[in-house]
């Protein structure tokens, strides 16, 4: 006779289904963001780009904080950012869906303000690379803070593919907005600390030997119940004292003196 499967198997199967749904949703969101960037790039020929980019130190350039991440200077620039956004966005949304959605406005503003505060006056900054750096650092730091298996795996994957972000937050190449990279990275670190508890910790999966121990305990408990019935919780009372009955009554006994003849 085949022994019954433990409940953890059903829980694991259900968890796998939920993980698959989360992955598909993350891919859909990331593809939607890439599609938005592509559509905006196709319309850039009819837009005034200087008014929509971040112009450091200029009051009018603050408007670019909201619009600059949507703009790109060339197809190669768009392709590089779209690829990184697709991979890091999918990774972040799969492991930390709530934290990523809550952190996205902070990453967006951090990248733009970093360029506006640190950039050279008269320059123009555009592109989603600052937000992407924020996503990368968000995944890095959340892996260090949470330290569960999923968080550690996500942090290692992000570092494997985009560990170079640790260097691009500093000046290294002309024409690359390291200022927006630094602003997005700092925003990602702050967001990781603020939203580290937004997503519940994953349920720890049991090892095979733990499942076997639980099954042995269940079998032992079933055998004990079969051969030795459990003591009743409530024993019926067959006789009760009358409350009106006089209690504590002392009966006198006549004493007999013993005399020696």
Q: Where are the domains of the chain?
A: 8-194
Q: What pLDDT is recorded for position 3? A: 37
Spans of the chain, pLDDT less than 50:
1-10, 261
CB of 215 closer than 8 Å to CB of 223: no
Q: What pLDDT is recorded for position 9? A: 40
Distances (CA, A) of 44 to 81, 82, 230: 16, 16, 79
Query: What φ, ψ does residue 54 adopt, rounded to 5°?
Result: -85, 120
CB atoms within 10 A of CB 36: 12
- Range 8-194 has CATH code 3.90.45.10: no
CB of 124 closer than 8 Å to CB of 55: yes
Calpha distance 52→64 (Å, rounded): 5
Q: What pLDDT is recorded for position 11? A: 56
Show the CA angle centred on residue 194, arms to residues 191 and 197, nearest 5°: 115
Give CA torsion, residues 88, 93, 97, 100, to 10 deg.
Answer: 30
What are 54's strand-pairing partners? 125
């Amino acid at each position: 006779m085949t022994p019954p499967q433990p409940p953890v198997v059903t829980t694991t199967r259900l968890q796998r289904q939920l993980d698959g749904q989360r992955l598909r949703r993350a891919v859909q969101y990331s593809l939607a963001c890439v599609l938005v960037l592509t559509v905006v790039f196709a319309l850039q020929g009819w837009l005034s780009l200087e008014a929509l980019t971040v112009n450091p130190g200029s009051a009018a350039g603050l408007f670019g904080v909201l619009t600059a991440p949507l703009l790109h200077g060339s197809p190669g620039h768009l392709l590089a950012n779209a690829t990184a956004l697709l991979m890091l966005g999918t990774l972040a949304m799969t492991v930390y869906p709530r934290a990523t959605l809550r952190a996205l406005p902070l990453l967006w503003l951090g990248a733009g303000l970093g360029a506006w505060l640190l950039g050279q006056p008269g320059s123009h900054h555009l592109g989603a690379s600052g937000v992407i750096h924020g996503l990368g650092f968000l995944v890095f730091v959340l892996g260090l803070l949470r330290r569960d298996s999923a968080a550690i795996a996500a942090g290692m994957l992000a570092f494997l593919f985009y560990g170079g972000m640790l260097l691009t937050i500093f000046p290294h190449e002309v024409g690359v907005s390291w200022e927006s990279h630094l602003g997005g990275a700092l925003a990602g670190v702050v967001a990781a600390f603020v939203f580290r508890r937004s997503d519940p910790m994953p349920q720890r999966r049991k090892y095979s030997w733990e499942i076997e121990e639980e099954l042995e305990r269940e079998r032992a408990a079933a055998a004990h119940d079969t051969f030795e019935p459990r003591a009743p919780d409530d024993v019926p009372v067959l006789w009760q004292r009358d409350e009106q009955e006089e209690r504590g009554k002392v009966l006198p006994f006549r004493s007999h003196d013993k005399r020696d003849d």
